[in-house]
Amino acid sequence: MHLPPHHFATKTAVELAQELIGCELHSQLGGVHTAGIITETEAYHEDERGCHAYGGKRTKRTEIMFAEGGVAYIYLCYGMHHLFNVVCAQKGRAEAVLIRAIEPIIGTKLMLKRRNHKKVEKNLTAGPARLSQALGITTDLNKISLKPPQIWIEERKTDYIQIDKSPRIGIDYAENDALLPYRFTLRDSIWIT
């Protein structure tokens, strides 16, 4: 069963980032279906410096983070990478979870084609820009609601997993907030960065 958009509105980013580990991220774009198990996430919220909406800053780009949870926040990084986030929390509160890595499970052949790879290996879908490319996610889909048939999340199917915590990647500018344990990874998975 997929998690309905309103589910995300009830969660903080730190809660959701952990809950999403082990869930499945699905995309059905151009009539083709791809999906993977979420193995790595990061939490962001407006009270810490790593967040684009730090201090409640509303700009054209960050406005979607203040929407009610259940929509996608997809933005372009380094001029070429499309990074996918799940907006959560209630309307008016900026919180989101960055999906950083997945383990491919459905449509791996198409993922290989989209990524121009020959072989299924870690760098096919481990990395926030890599998984977006593998699933066909681009900024065109920014702000869409997270429900079938475009992009949605299926609940975790295994009953027990272990989650590790560590500091987030690539946010040195966030000063002391860069040390917060807001990165979550599926223990023993090879599909993490």
**Between residues 152 and 182, which has the closer beta carbon with respect to DNA?**
182
**Between residues 76 and 163, which has the closer beta carbon with respect to DNA?**
76
In a 13 Å sphere around the CA of 171, the CA atoms on its Cβ side amount to 24
Distance separating alpha carbons of residues 123 and 37, to the nearest angstrom: 15
Point out which residues bind DNA (CB under 7 A): 42, 44, 50-52, 57, 59-62, 65, 73, 75-81, 83, 85, 96, 98, 115, 123, 127-130, 168-171, 173, 193
**Between residues 28 and 85, which has the closer beta carbon with respect to DNA?**
85
Please answer whether residues 27 and 34 qualify as being in contact, where contact means their C-beta atoms are separated by less than 8 angstroms: yes
**Between residues 155 and 175, which has the closer beta carbon with respect to DNA?**
175
Minimum CB distance to DNA, residue 171 (Å): 5
CB count in 10 Å sphere of residue 120: 12
Minimum CB distance to DNA, residue 157 (Å): 25
DSSP state of 146: S
Minimum CB distance to DNA, residue 97 (Å): 8
**Between residues 129 and 161, which has the closer beta carbon with respect to DNA?**
129
Helix axis angle for 108-115 and 128-135, nearest 10°, is 110
Minimum CB distance to DNA, residue 57 (Å): 6
Q: Among positive and negative, which fits the CA dihedral 34, 24, 164, 97?
A: positive
User: What are the φ/ψ torsions at residue 62 (nearest 5 degrees)?
Assistant: -80, -10
Minimum CB distance to DNA, residue 80 (Å): 5
